[in-house]
């Protein structure tokens, strides 16, 4: 909701008329500036308002998590031939599934954290997992957004509650080694045929890790943009991110997250619809790049009609 409102606020209204659409599980509606709700016709994604039928030329997709980040909405809009600002069905589904995405990333020779994966109902050998991955470790849903359902396990007795928490969000979970290092984020976006690579952000959190509370609460993290990195390291991260953007056929703006350890750089995840709220990283990176929020959001919509 915060990201959607920021987008509506900053898109150039000399060029576009934005409509804020709220998508709940069964209830889809336009939320007007006065607070009125007008239902969306799901058969063609239109609105009936005061004797008019409103049809949309394009969609600015600001939904983190399902159904906006995992390919479900993308498939729906593809069927209706309505262009959207985010990645397509295939890469959205792949990047949202951490288990499959890590396997894909590893095929390029890029380091990812050692891990185990389990489906609900499978036997988990706790002792074996801890022996091979060590403590602390992370237990997370394979598919979730905004770090929902993610736990850091520091003690053996915390293992089972973390597994239960992850399974509340997804039927497949991922158990990963904890990588000790600097957390770095690299945002990118297309402007026509040009790929813009934004300054890198370093995330320093007061929480045990960059969890939901740390992402969306004031004062929980320090975010340094541009990150204080050696020039060679910065170039490597930006080059790798640009390569992955193209190889994965990304669209719109995305964010690649990494952990820089003493043994090298590890891929953490691809956020195909990164947060755009006042707490989010992409707006900070765009500002450091020299873009206003108006340019950032308007250029993203411009890409739909090139």
pLDDT in tens, 54-113: 999 999 999 988 999 999 999 999 999 999 999 999 999 999 988 899 999 999 999 999
Percent of the chain with pLDDT over 70: 94
Instruction: Tell me if 101 sits within 8 A of 269, measured CB to CB.
Output: yes
Whether pLDDT at 204 is above 60: yes
Cis, bond preceding 114 (omega within 30 deg of 0): no
Residue count (the chain): 306
Measure CA 202 to chain center: 16
Rounded to 5 degrees, what angle do the CA atoms 87, 182, 179 make?
A: 85
> How far is the C-alpha of 81 from the C-alpha of 226, rounded, in Å?
39
What is the end-to-end Cα distance of the chain in Å, rounded?
28
Could you tell me if residue 252 is left (phi over 0), alpha (psi between -120 and 50 degrees) or otherwise beta? left
Instruction: Tell me if 276 sits within 8 A of 85, measured CB to CB.
Output: no
Q: Please tell me the number of Cα atoms within 13 Å of 61 on its side-chain side.
A: 32
- CA dihedral over 144, 61, 91, 198, signed as positive or negative: negative
Strands 111-112 and 264-271: parallel
Whether pLDDT at 145 is above 90: no
Average predicted confidence (pLDDT) for the chain: 92
Q: Tokens for 208? A: 């045990």
Strand order in the sheet with 21-23: 21-23, 28-31, 37-41, 46-49, 52-55
pLDDT of residue 140: 92
> How far is the C-alpha of 272 from the C-alpha of 65, rounded, in Å?
10
Whether pLDDT at 213 is above 60: no
Whether pLDDT at 146 is above 80: no
The H or E element that residue 245 is part of is helix 231-247
Q: Locate tokens 């396997």: which residue? A: 103
Q: What is the mean pLDDT of residues 4-10?
A: 94
pLDDT of residue 260: 97
pLDDT of residue 219: 59
| Residue 212 binned pLDDT confidence (cut-offs 50, 70, 90) | low
């Amino acid at each position: 909701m915060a990201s959607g409102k920021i987008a509506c606020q900053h898109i150039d209204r000399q060029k576009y008329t934005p409509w804020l659409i709220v998508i709940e599980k069964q209830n889809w509606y336009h939320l007007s500036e006065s607070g009125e709700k007008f239902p969306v016709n799901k058969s063609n994604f239109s609105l009936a308002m005061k004797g008019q039928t409103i049809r949309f030329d394009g969609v600015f997709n600001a939904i983190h998590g399902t159904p906006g980040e995992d390919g479900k909405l993308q498939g729906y809009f593809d069927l209706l031939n309505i262009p959207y600002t985010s990645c397509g069905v295939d890469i959205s589904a792949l990047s949202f599934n951490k288990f499959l995405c890590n396997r894909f990333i590893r095929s390029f020779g890029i380091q990812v954290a050692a891990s185990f994966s389990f489906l609900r109902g499978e036997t988990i050998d706790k002792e074996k997992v801890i022996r091979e991955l060590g403590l602390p470790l992370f237990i997370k849903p394979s598919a979730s957004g905004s770090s929902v359902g993610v736990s850091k396990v520091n003690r053996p007795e915390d293992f089972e509650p973390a597994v239960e928490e992850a399974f509340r969000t997804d039927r497949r979970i991922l158990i990963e080694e904890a990588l000790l290092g600097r957390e770095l984020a690299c945002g990118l976006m297309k402007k026509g045929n040009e790929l813009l690579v934004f300054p890198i952000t370093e995330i320093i959190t007061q929480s045990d890790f960059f969890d939901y509370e740390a992402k969306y609460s004031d004062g929980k993290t320090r975010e340094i943009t541009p990150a204080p990195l050696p020039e060679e390291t910065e170039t490597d991260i930006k080059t790798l991110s640009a390569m992955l953007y193209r190889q994965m056929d990304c669209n719109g703006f995305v964010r690649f997250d990494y952990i820089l350890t003493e043994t090298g750089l590890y891929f953490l995840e691809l956020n195909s619809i990164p947060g755009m709220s006042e707490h989010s990283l992409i707006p900070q990176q765009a500002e450091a790049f020299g873009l206003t929020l108006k340019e950032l959001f308007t250029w993203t919509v411009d890409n739909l009609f090139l």
